[in-house]
Structure 1
């Protein structure tokens, strides 16, 4: 590995991948704050198959400039990715752009990194591509226990994400026993020998200095072109029901916003468990006059967590729910609606729905795919 200063005039492009619920948004928020404290202008680009993304709302609430590429993954909407960066540059050109791809996507070196390197080398200085490993599913998938509760096709995507990484980040070490962290590291090294492994906690900042140091490296990176079966990839991604829903919550008397968010999560945990549906990620954000709270659940065998408390009582709030679950989309919508209604009833809240999108992701069709790395 080699390190050198950023070339004048180029935007440093940092992409952090990883499976749904791996902790990409928290990591990117911490990374963006680091660069901001260094006096750099930072732009963030989030990505989803639909609009109303919790991650976008959260990062904007933290004061970051965020563009959103919605309707398809970066690889299938490459021109929108570069166009969004141009929009971020229109007012105050960023020194660094941090991109968060859809958590069910892979083959990003061939379809995003290499197109940037080979077609936009006059605009971007592309950083090493890091992928965050999600311990809750990663341990089960890499041990071959049960594919993490998913089918082999969905687990295929998970492994391909790790295979193309320049480095792998074991996140949430604050929540894991040291022995389990080393077990994960051993499994990664065994399956992907030679790939650097970092141990971090996006929540506490543990291991963050090493992450920044690695991202700042320059050298032979972004060249792991995958051999990938797009039929398996498409079928694995399509197993997930996908839902984004936005609503307005109001009440005559002030209600506990955090309790409302957690009631939605707990209700979904209960009903999805009865359905035997594996959760890839559930996330809900509530916003009111500068306050924001986030609750999430990252797998079927973990408890819902109030990851960012708002600590506020409100008479109204904007709420966004994102759900990625191994279940039919119409059934997912029914369960989400029921959980929202039950949570609202328990706290005396009136809910006005604004927009709901629910579907299975379509087959990925990349705008560009480079079979040879530069």
Structure 2
């Protein structure tokens, strides 16, 4: 009899730190000799997260074009392809950051249709401190109430809530955010982690190893509000090539693009949910990102390389019109390239608003 694969899905709003957390978990599991497959998810192709995890040496499949819930068959097909050579012990799944209702549309279908093949780990949802302060405290978040509704519903269906980026907080600040989360979700376990430093990940591993009947919190959800909240986000994935006659620092290019785009978005009063860019060159890579409009861009994975040509992917999730977002991205890339004596050729750009979610399956009661 084949062993059952441990299915671990980590949810959370855009910019919460899902990819970094999955990368940390994958490294820990593989370090213990477990076979790990990762499935990423996006509304479009050319996903920075997929390329980042693959560049770290992990076996990654991507479900593109729709969220897991609306493309359930492809999710299962992608997992099957990861198991084609050697059946994994663990599947780590990262859903789209603007997606919710995942218990009813992903976890319950797996439990009912594929129970012999999978065992379900506690469904954990990550929240970043700025959202804990603003959205849960009903302060000004930069997002509309309908977009904030999605984040609140994500937390409501979680088996555990993970407060990320605690390395950036004082003990008092962490306690304050934890208190706000517990006020809204008094029966849900709350863990504090830093996906960047690894703090708290021992406790997270212990949580994810628990045996039990998880994924039972079926949402009472208004799909009209959910769809309208998603549709307020402009979504852009671009792939391009940057070339120059003289070498330039790849990290300056990546961080410069994110910084310049943050400035242009601020001028347009557009709230950034997440900006990411990755540069890929001859086996080396670098990543820069921005997790909100009021934080500083960061070089999350430096390449420390000088290059003459490089492939670049830009992902942007911003509360603004997609056409405006595309123009600002192209102008920002052009500004930074000129400052480095380089030029950019855009190969492909997808810029749009997500359509209404139509799940493949939805079970309104818990199995």
Q: Same fold (TM over 0.5)?
A: yes
Answer yes or no: is 1:60 the counterpart of 2:54.
Answer: yes
2-side partners of 1:219 and 1:86: how far apart?
Answer: 24
Q: Secondary structure at the match of 2:97?
A: coil
1-side partners of 2:270 and 2:174: how far apart?
Answer: 27
Q: Secondary structure at the match of 2:10?
A: strand
Q: Secondary structure at the match of 1:183?
A: helix
* 214, 235, 239: which one aligns with 2:232: 239
Residue 47 of structure 1: how far off its partner (Å): 0.0
Answer yes or no: is 1:139 the counterpart of 2:133.
Answer: yes
Answer yes or no: is 1:37 the counterpart of 2:31.
Answer: yes
Residue 8 of structure 1: how far off its partner (Å): 5.8
Deviations 1:95-148, CA, capped at 9 Å, x for gaps: 1110000000000000000000111001111111000012122310011112x1
Would you say the 8 A contact 1:137–1:299 is kept in 2? no
Q: Secondary structure at the match of 1:52?
A: coil
2-side partners of 1:306 and 1:235: how far apart?
Answer: 33
Q: Secondary structure at the match of 1:242?
A: strand
The aligned residue for residue 221 of structure 2 is 228
The aligned residue for residue 335 of structure 1 is 328
Answer yes or no: is 1:116 the counterpart of 2:113.
Answer: no
Residue 91 of structure 1: how far off its partner (Å): 1.4
Structure 2 stretches lacking a partner, 5+ long:
none
2-side partners of 1:171 and 1:21: how far apart?
Answer: 10
Instruction: Please give the root-mean-square deviation of Cα atoms over the aligned residues, in Å.
Output: 0.9
Would you say the 8 A contact 2:132–2:180 is kept in 1? no
2-side partners of 1:292 and 1:299: how far apart?
Answer: 23
Alignment of 1:266-277 (within 5 A): 266-277=259-270
Q: Which runs of 4+ in 1 moved over 2 A?
A: none
Residue 314 of structure 1: how far off its partner (Å): 0.9
Residue 220 of structure 1: how far off its partner (Å): 3.1
Residue 372 of structure 1: how far off its partner (Å): 1.0
Answer yes or no: is 1:188 the counterpart of 2:200.
Answer: no
2-side partners of 1:175 and 1:292: how far apart?
Answer: 25
1-side partners of 2:118 and 2:310: how far apart?
Answer: 39
Output the TM-score relative to the length of structure 2: 0.99
The aligned residue for residue 9 of structure 1 is 3
Residue 263 of structure 1: how far off its partner (Å): 1.1
Answer yes or no: is 1:46 the counterpart of 2:43.
Answer: no
The aligned residue for residue 14 of structure 2 is 20
1-side partners of 2:17 and 2:364: how far apart?
Answer: 30
Structure 1 stretches lacking a partner, 5+ long:
1-6
Q: Secondary structure at the match of 1:237?
A: helix
* 252, 259, 263: which one aligns with 2:256: 263
2-side partners of 1:80 and 1:284: how far apart?
Answer: 26
Deviations 1:289-336, CA, capped at 9 Å, x for gaps: 121111111111111111111111111111000000000000000000
Residue 183 of structure 1: how far off its partner (Å): 1.1
